[in-house]
Structure 1
Amino acid sequence: MAVFDAVLVTGANGGLGTQFVQQALDRGAHTVYATARTPREWSDPRIVPLALDVTDSASIAAAAAAAPDVTLLVNNAGGANGATVLNDNPALRALFDVNFFGPLAVAGAFAPALAANGGGALLNVLSVLSWIGVGDGYSATKAALWSATNTQRAALADQGTLVTALHLGYTDTPMTAGLDVPKNDPIEIVRRAYDGVAAGVFEVLADDLSVQVKAGLSGPIEALYPQLGARERHR
């Protein structure tokens, strides 16, 4: 089977999610499962709306049973709620449920189908904030998923499943609507992500910012966090 034969996208109602659905069709998908807590209607008969709450185990199991032919799973669903890591709090735990435990549970539920369908691929939508903690609780959830993605990549290799991580900076989606910053075009980000999957690469750095920040991980930590240098100067 080709990796784009049957694609399942979590968080399909959002800005990136909609592009993941549409561009999968452009790449020849015969079925795209467009999932969300409250699925929307789509005009293309190849798109199958499917209810999926990534924080609910019963919902995940039902979706896996309804989509046994999946060859590419796009773990795109996520959220931001302003949670902080400075103390243990319900908002932070809720964010980890959506951004970390949810994607892990979805991947685990669909891994047998991917194996049965020739291995296929898993695409985890991460962030440049996986590598830099300026996003507070959000950064922590994406850093955790980055680490887990590395583990998934090794664990699923024997069944022939490609695990690709997508890293990107601010992108023009509903999540960033209130931010007055330069933003990526979702069309271009998804194109690069799918190009990476098609090429069999393990990691897609979808914009210059992601390239720069990852390169900075090998340098002094003060280069990524200038405020640390300011602290030293005030000693």
Structure 2
Amino acid sequence: MQLHNASVLITGANRGIGLAFAREALARGARKVYAGARNPASVTLPGVEPIALDVTDPAAVSAAARLASDVTLVINNAGIASFGGFLADGSEASARAHMETNFFGLLRVSQAFAPVLAANGGGALLNVLSVASWINSPMLSVYGASKSAAWALTNGLRHDLRGQGTQVLGLHMGFVDTDLTRGIEMPKSTPEAIVRRAFEALEAGAEEVLADELTQQVKRGLSAEPGVYLRDARA
């Protein structure tokens, strides 16, 4: 799929990777960019159309699909990340919150916009995933579980939507220098670098993109003996 003349909707577009996606979509000639955010007043990038969109609110998602009926690319970027392991206090509540945004939010938006994409020729879904889809650590256990679920959902959507000609691209990456990773002392990519690689893969017709060296190493390690996922990701 080409970005030139595309109509793009981005969830969580007011900051971080979502904002970088909006900037790059405009730079690549997108005809329209809908910048979704819980508070549309927080969207300040010139050239985009702010749209109220809370992915945890079914009514808001349905309203967005009615408003943005010309969309040809949906970028499922909205997500949350909190520290904590499965046995920590409050882990069940944290898991429910992560799944509500990172899994059910992605599902909700994809269900609402699949008919829109079909009506507009097929288009594409770009789902922002993570290297944590495949490996885990006590620091990000609950977050990782939600991203593993989102990866499975992305794989399922790819098969569900192939018949209507919709490209489904899963974007995997390690740590990116955004608000979500503040306080994590690890090497980080810039949002701009990740977005460029994602859009290059999208325009090449890819179904998966491993946007940094760490993610590429981890993917290779999934079939190793022992598998890389058997080790603490901090090791």
- TM-score, scaled to structure 1: 0.91
Question: Of 146, 149, 162, which aligns to 1:144?
Answer: 149
- Which has the higher Rg, Structure 1 or Structure 2? 1
Amino acid at match of 1:131: W
Question: Of 209, 212, 215, which aligns to 1:210?
Answer: 215
Partner of 1:95: 98
> Quick one: distance in 1 between partners of 2:189 and 2:133?
17
Question: Of 132, 135, 147, which aligns to 2:135?
Answer: 132
Identity %: 51
> Quick one: distance in 2 between partners of 1:94 and 1:43?
28
- Aligned residue runs from structure 1 range 1-235, under 5 A: 4=4, 5-39=6-40, 40-44=42-46, 46-86=47-87, 89-134=92-137, 135-221=140-226, 223-226=228-231
How big is each residue's C-alpha offset from its partner over 1:84-131, in whole Å with a ceiling of 9 and x where there is no partner? 434871121111001101011001100001011110000000000100
Unaligned ranges ≥5, structure 1: 228-235
Instruction: Give the aligned CA root-mean-square deviation in angstroms.
Output: 2.0
Amino acid at match of 1:175: L
Unaligned ranges ≥5, structure 2: none
> Quick one: distance in 1 between partners of 2:100 and 2:38?
14
| Higher relative contact order, chain-length normalized (CA < 8 Å, sep 6+) | 2
SS at match of 2:33: strand
> Quick one: distance in 2 between partners of 1:50 and 1:76?
14
Deviation of 1:222 (Å): 5.6
SS at match of 1:49: strand
> How many residues matched?
228
> Quick one: distance in 2 between partners of 1:184 and 1:2?
24
- TM-score, scaled to structure 2: 0.91
Change (3 A) 1:222 1:206: closer
Deviation of 1:177 (Å): 1.6
Amino acid at match of 1:199: A
